[in-house]
Amino acid sequence: MNKWIDNAQLASAPQVEGAELQRAMQQAVRQVAQNLPAFESSFPAANSEHGFYTPGINTDWTTGFWTGEVWLAYENAQTPEQKAMFLSAGEKQVDSFLERMNIHHYVDHHDMGFLYSPSCVAAYKLTGSPHGKEAALKAADQLLTRYRPEGEYLQAWGPMNARDNSRLIIDCLLNIPLLYWASETTGDASYRTIAEKHIHTAMKYIVRADDSTWHTIFFDPDTGAFDHGATCQGYQDASAWARGQTWGIYGTAIAYKNTRRAEYIDYFHRVSRYFLSHLPDDLCPYWDLMFGNGDEADQPRDSSSAAIAACGFLEMSKYLPAEDAAYYTGMAKRLVKALIDHYQVKDFAISNGQLLHGTYAKKTPYNTCKNSGVDECVIWGDYYFMEALTRLQNPEWDMYW
């Protein structure tokens, strides 16, 4: 029977070191290479089925993560031939993302950042891709259309201004960097202005008194006043959905990077502390952080949350005093070591993903999602795992977000 890990156990957990990190990255790049050409013009589904992703078209909110993996593989390629192969695949996929904006295909939601930062902003930053720039700017414009001025937030899902969809979700903190990039790229401050309003509203309500987080916040559709917090993908409203907590960790780190508002450092420490004190022995969280204290029988993990948290810790370490930075960098190295040892796919015959044991959504009597990708690879887990490896190998890495 597990118990949440305590500080002493956490401090003594091993950290990933140089050669091991390099081997893990080489293996991750090999997985991407082996998935091409099957996934050159098509996109993996959001989650694997029995360990294997199947190909589909560019429709879901998750396709940018695969292209992000291709760009990370491009950056970490072992040979010039490999590099050329990743470049060619990445460029093809960028064209698919531009087409998606041009025909307005499944873009009426807030996930423009998840879609367009790791795919098209990455392409623009790495290669100067004009199509990447055009697509990402169109996506940023589309994201602005989700703004609800009465509550100063970006509406997550559903038809705009639908009364029953007057809500933001914590995940959106990772859509916001696209707006900062658009302001930097165009010189037009209006993207940044909306970004800041959304961040401010989200931060005001999303962290609870015990430092856990709401998945989603509902507002009064007429006045925009806070109405209530709830969950969609957590076990129940008041529990802490693991991935939501880690969108909070990485999201507050990026919010601080872009705004330099000191109070966001405090939010970062709080949400990070809650996450780290609700981990089981092997440092990979259960899908909801309420599990892991001895009552987790048959509950699945969400390995993607550990990968996202590692990226958030490494990003925030750039802005913290040395002692705090060393602490969070050490925690990221422990999380990544645990993922490499117990969750990384080491054999393409077992899975075509990167990280086993993710959980997309698990239905309970108290939440509003349906079961999908339970105890499977999830494509963002694969992406953030590779991002964490990249960050650890190259602390100067210019992030796609």
Positions marked catalytic = 111, 171
Q: How far is CA 65 from the centre of its chain?
A: 9
What are 52's strand-pairing partners?
A: 49
3-state SS, 46-100, equals CECECCECCEECCCCCCHHHHHHHHHHHHHCCCCHHHHHHHHHHHHHHHHHHHHH
Q: Which is nearer to ligand GLY, 133 or 243 (by Cβ)?
A: 243
How far is the C-alpha of 197 from the C-alpha of 175, rounded, in Å? 14
Alpha-carbon distance values, 240 to 127, 142, 202, 274 (Å): 39, 30, 16, 9
User: Would you call 146 helix, strand, or coil by DSSP?
Assistant: coil
Q: Which is nearer to ligand GLY, 47 or 76 (by Cβ)?
A: 47
Least spacing, CB of residue 275 vs ligand GLY, in Å:
15
* Identity of the residue numbered 337: K
Q: Which is nearer to ligand GLY, 41 or 364 (by Cβ)?
A: 364
User: Would you call 37 helix, strand, or coil by DSSP?
Assistant: coil
How far is the C-alpha of 69 from the C-alpha of 369, rounded, in Å? 27
Q: Which is nearer to ligand GLY, 286 or 360 (by Cβ)?
A: 360
Q: Which is nearer to ligand GLY, 25 or 143 (by Cβ)?
A: 143
Interior/surface letters 256-277, b for 16+ CB within 10 angstroms, e for the rest: bbbbeeeebbebbbbbbebbbe
Residue number with the smallest Cβ distance to ligand GLY: 171
Give phi and psi for 219, each to the nearest 5: -120, 155
Alpha-carbon distance values, 237 to 160, 178, 367 (Å): 24, 29, 7
Q: Site residues (CB under 6 A) for ligand GLY?
A: 171, 233, 243, 360
Least spacing, CB of residue 172 vs ligand GLY, in Å:
8
How far is the C-alpha of 292 from the C-alpha of 320, rounded, in Å? 30
Query: 173 with 250: CB under 8 angstroms?
Result: yes
Least spacing, CB of residue 288 vs ligand GLY, in Å:
13
Interior/surface letters 82-114, b for 16+ CB within 10 angstroms, e for the rest: beebbbebbeebbebbbebbeeeeebebbbbbb
Q: Which is nearer to ligand GLY, 76 or 299 (by Cβ)?
A: 299
Least spacing, CB of residue 171 vs ligand GLY, in Å:
4
